[in-house]
Copies of this chain bind each other. A is one copy, B any other.
Amino acid sequence: MALEQSLAALSLATVAAESATATKTLVFKPKTAKTATPIPILVFALHSTQTPAPAIAKAAGVKEPRLATDELVQQFFSTSAKEVSIASLNKSLAGKIKIVIDELIVNAKDEEVLELSTESSKAALPAKTINEFLISTGIELIPVDFSSQQLASAPTKDAKDVKKDTKKDTKSSKNDAKLEDAKLIGITVDKAKDFSSWYSQVVVKGEMLDYYDVSGCYILRPNSYAVWEEIQDWFNARIKKMGVQNSYFPMFVSARVLEKEKDHIEGFAPEVAWVTRAGSSELDEHIAIRPTSETVMYPYYSKWIRSHRDLPLKLNQWNSVVRWEFKHPQPFLRTREFLWQEGHTAHLTKQEAATEVDQILELYAGVYEELLAVPVVKGRKTENEKFAGGDYTTTVEGFIGATGRGIQGATSHHLGQNFSKMFNISVENPEGADKPRVFAYQNSWGLSTRVIGVMVMTHSDNKGLVLPPRVAQTQAVVIPVGLTSKTTDEVRKAINEGAESIEKRLKDADVRAIGDYRDIYTPGWKFAEWELKGVPLRIEFGPKDLTSEQVTVVRRDNSAKYTVKLAELEKRIPEILVQMQKELLENARKDFDEHRVIVDEWKDFVPALNAKNVILSPWCGVAECEDDIKDSSATKDDGEEEEVDEKAPSMGAKSLCIPNEQPPLKADQKCVRCDRKAITYCMFGRSY
């Protein structure tokens, strides 16, 4: 029975599908004794809601639910799994099945429009109608706030334990987190109260990214890929000036080569994805997908570099790498496949290599501060935290104010001669063939799409994304306003044509502008939608503006309003964009500066940490002491970690970096944790 008909049978009038929110209906079969009749669980949720099996198991109090077979679905719903929807429900199923329902649907505003869809048909109905119908069936309804359950998808045992520990307070905190005036099209949770649900909503509803059916992989939609392209153009122009050339190396690497550099591979081995089969033939040698390309590239560096005249060799590639992490994935921040650039250079002298390491770190700081308006601290990683197999690692470290955590931005490594000795990347001594051969000094440096996640976390708010103008795919949206039923056709025409000419003039002035002339939406609806997508400027043009030859400009970040004379469009709009870019960085920097506190005494360390700060402390530089600081600062006080990482509730403060800019170190200053003498200030913090 097609969806429309069954709904008709239920005498539910369908409404226009415009702006409907997609839903999904899934049927699960719990583990049941062979003899017993199974009680299927029908899951009804927003399409955008993640509904991991463990969360369903927990909610319905059943064991190991698995997607039901077509046979079982037929048996209970007399239709195929592809065609099942809540329209397949009826009173006769009461007591025979259970319904696990997304709280976002239960709590939806009556007039919100939801879309039911099956393989063959779709229908849109008001949330009220749907909820009333579900109740009318008399089937047991189990509402679940999946946003607080993401954890359930974490595979490890401690994860589950953690959940039990923190369940109560989480639950309640989650409910507090709901935004009062939330619309389904908008963000429904508060950034300040439930950061990680907020984050997944912002990236998905802001159309930066979508979840993908292979766990840990995500789709980069144009709104985020455009940011990446801006970064590529900016970075390419600068590294090419430095003499770096782009190239492309294969994504595959043989086990033999991958495992050549022991320290190096140790770090990656557990996360390497292996191709073992092609078509129907098993491969004789299993082949890895690169987690990074040192071992892919360096055998060829050895072949190509034959004389000191072949140095320096500076290659970069823009590619994707795969690290099959089993930790809880996070959009942009921790994904199994991610895009990045990886630069690999070989030099004749250590000095030349070291200089490049710093130049690249400056460029990374530039990507964050100039393009993404995100402030970073430049520094060096400790021995514990440096890149395995390298000599030392420099890094730019960011800060997420909402959670008080540090986040690694990008790293530039000096590899010394470790790899060049391993792969025999050597040249005859320029001082003479009789002198010993010289092994190349190497660097590698990488910046990934994680930068986009940091940008989103830093600037966005409860209305949705906030995109810095420099990297926004659309910088300004022109919207006709003030048109009512009373508006004369003449004025209506003038407004619409005026708006279109404004859009055109801005484009000609190299402002990335678009116009929203859809007549089925109210200006208010459009405002909300473009705010959600993070467009920096909204340009309103209505009857009043028409008469006084002006537009009203509203900034996305702070709602500041500007009145701009039409004559000055080409001059003022770019100015406002520049000003917004500048202020976004200033505000973020102020936040970072206020939450980077100097702590000399251990007693103040954990409190400062729990007050959502990162910490600058005098430190002895001893690895054991660093581990001790991490263990001793572990705590369960922090209310929000859970969603970020199942390990989080017991997460202590890691060393983030030894900042290049150091506070003055008092003579005979003790280490913040132990009795040894401090040799430097080190930045510690909880981190992503």
Contacts and interface: CB of A to CB of B under 8 A. Distances in A.
Contact of A222 (B119, B315, B322): B315
B275 A426 contact: no
Given A226-B246, A254-B214, A219 B300 contact: yes
A522 interface: no
A22 interface: yes
Interface stretch (A165-173, A264-272, A392-400, A660-668): A264-272
A319 B225 CA distance: 13
Given A47-B303, A424-B119, A275 B278 contact: no
Contacts of A274: 275-278
Given A250-B214, A337-B250, A270 B279 contact: yes
B18 A309 contact: yes
A392 to B, nearest CB: 26
A405 B326 CA distance: 50
Nearest to A271: B279
A213 B296 CA distance: 9
A225 B253 contact: no
A112 B473 CA distance: 56
A285 to B, nearest CB: 9
Contacts of A277: 273-274, 276, 286
A91 interface: no
A20 interface: yes
> Which of A119, A269, A275, A326 has its CB near the most chain B CB atoms (within 10 A)?
A275
Contacts of A254: 213-214
A272 B279 contact: yes
Interface string A280-296: 11000011010000000
A437 interface: yes
A655 to B, nearest CB: 26
A273 B289 CA distance: 11
A278 B272 contact: yes
Nearest to A428: B17
A247 B319 CA distance: 14
User: How many copies, total?
Assistant: 2
A225 B322 CA distance: 22
Contacts of A336: 252
Given A245-B222, A247-B219, A14 B273 contact: no
A565 interface: no
A229 B229 CA distance: 13
Nearest to A218: B250
Q: Which of A212, A473, A520 has the most CB of B within 10 A?
A: A212
Contact of A339 (B210, B245, B248, B424): B248
Contacts of A253: 214
A214 B295 CA distance: 13
B246 A306 contact: no
Most buried by B among A14, A245, A248, A269: A248
A520 B281 CA distance: 52
A226 B247 CA distance: 8
A195 to B, nearest CB: 25
A315 B300 CA distance: 36
Interface in A118-155: 119-122
A226 B240 CA distance: 11
Contacts of A309: 18, 518, 520
A571 interface: no
A243 to B, nearest CB: 11
11 contacts: A16-B433, A18-B307, A18-B309, A210-B303, A212-B250, A214-B252, A221-B247, A222-B245, A225-B246, A226-B245, A248-B339
Q: Which 10 interchain pairs have the tightest Cβ spacing? A: A278-B324, A222-B245, A217-B250, A270-B279, A220-B248, A274-B277, A214-B252, A276-B276, A225-B247, A273-B275
Interface of A: 14, 16-18, 20, 22, 47, 115, 117, 119-122, 210, 212-214, 217-222, 225-226, 228-229, 245-254, 257, 269-281, 286-287, 289, 299-300, 303-304, 306-307, 309, 315, 319-320, 322, 324, 326, 336-337, 339, 424, 426, 428, 433, 437, 473, 518, 520
